[in-house]
Amino acid sequence: MNLTAGFQIIVNGMATGGVYAIFALGYTLVFSILGIINFAHSAVFTLGAYFTYALLGSQFGFNGLLARGRLPFGLSFPLALLGGAILAGLVAVMVERLAFRPLRKRGADPLLMLVSSLGVAVAIVNIIQYLFGAEPYTFPNILGGLPGSVNLGTPGTPLVARTVQLLIAGVSLVILALLTVYINYTNTGKALRAVAEDATTASLLGINTDRLVLLTFFLSGFIGGIAGTLVGLSVGITGPYFGIAFGLKGLSVIILGGLGSIPGAVLGGIVIGIGENLVPAEHVGYKDAVAFALLFIVLLVRPQGLLGRTQIQKV
């Protein structure tokens, strides 16, 4: 393996892994607060990509209610990314209000919330199909005048990477860094961690847990939407079911890293991202097999995941 190939594996691995990580963190945030997997997360991911696409002012497809339409304005990519993420976050907040809170208030079994989130996911996917049609979408060139690839080495020993991959890796890392600071060093972050550990006690200390649950869903949808856009940039939006396969990958990331662990989701994302990119181009069909084989092996050795804690039962 030559240097350039190795370098590309790392850049692509970081880009893929970074997106996996931020996507999986959306699951982790909700899981750590409510103890359930929010299956609607993959649908919100899909929506994020469509929202950003729309905000860029691009034309919609030939099917669906919005056929051939476009927004009367087009935003620059950073603004469209942010706008798409905010809209995705607001959808996630709606999901909480409609699919989770009513059940939570009645003290329903967590399994029921899992099922209702699955229902919301199906509904969102169908709404997307109704609005945007079932065809794939390709993002317009958002790089402007930038070259499609850059050489980070010297002309003698080239280290070439696709600009889009660098952008994806960069945005993912920035999001990861911001989220880490937010959760560990701000008051709201501390409150979030307190609610994650013991919501009842947190409420007795004056923390409005309902508001923090909403915030958690917003954050989860926000980063899910960013992940959707980034994947869309890399491979295009493959259709309304775009997020479903990705959702499975996200689940394997959090289980690999350790359910409910934030560093675990990041590590799991990077491990699977780099693992997938180690598959040679001529065997690209085995990418997913590698991801799930990694998961399988780790679970054999460490059932709690890479950074998961074994549950300590309090007596």
The β-bridge partners of 149 are 162
CB of 33 to other proteins, least distance (A): 13
* 57 φ/ψ sector (left φ>0, alpha ψ -120 to 50, else beta): left
Where b means 16+ CB within 10 Å and e means fewer, 270-299 reads: bbbbbbbbebeeeeeeebbebbeebbeebe
Please give the Cα distance from 66 to 277 (Å, whole number).
37
Nearer to other proteins, 229 or 261 (CB): 261
Nearer to other proteins, 196 or 270 (CB): 196
* 277 φ/ψ sector (left φ>0, alpha ψ -120 to 50, else beta): alpha
CB of 199 to other proteins, least distance (A): 10
HSE value, Cβ hemisphere, 13 Å, CA-based, for 206: 1
CB of 284 to other proteins, least distance (A): 40
Nearer to other proteins, 151 or 188 (CB): 188
Nearer to other proteins, 212 or 233 (CB): 212
Residue 16 is encoded by which pair of tokens?
Answer: 């893929």
CB of 303 to other proteins, least distance (A): 21
- Contacting residues toward other proteins, per CB under 8 A: 178, 181-182, 186-188, 190-191, 193-194, 197-198, 200-209, 215
Q: How far is CA 3 from CA 153, 171, 194, 252, 300, in A?
A: 10, 25, 46, 30, 33
Please give the Cα distance from 157 to 21 (Å, whole number).
31
Nearer to other proteins, 171 or 207 (CB): 207
Nearer to other proteins, 169 or 191 (CB): 191
**Cβ atoms 129, 240 nearer than 8 A:** yes
Rg (CA), the chain: 20
CB of 261 to other proteins, least distance (A): 11
Nearer to other proteins, 32 or 116 (CB): 32
CB of 191 to other proteins, least distance (A): 5
**Cβ atoms 119, 99 nearer than 8 A:** yes
Q: How far is CA 114 from CA 40, 74, 110, in A?
A: 9, 37, 6
CB of 36 to other proteins, least distance (A): 20
CB of 187 to other proteins, least distance (A): 5
Nearer to other proteins, 283 or 309 (CB): 309
**Cβ atoms 85, 223 nearer than 8 A:** yes
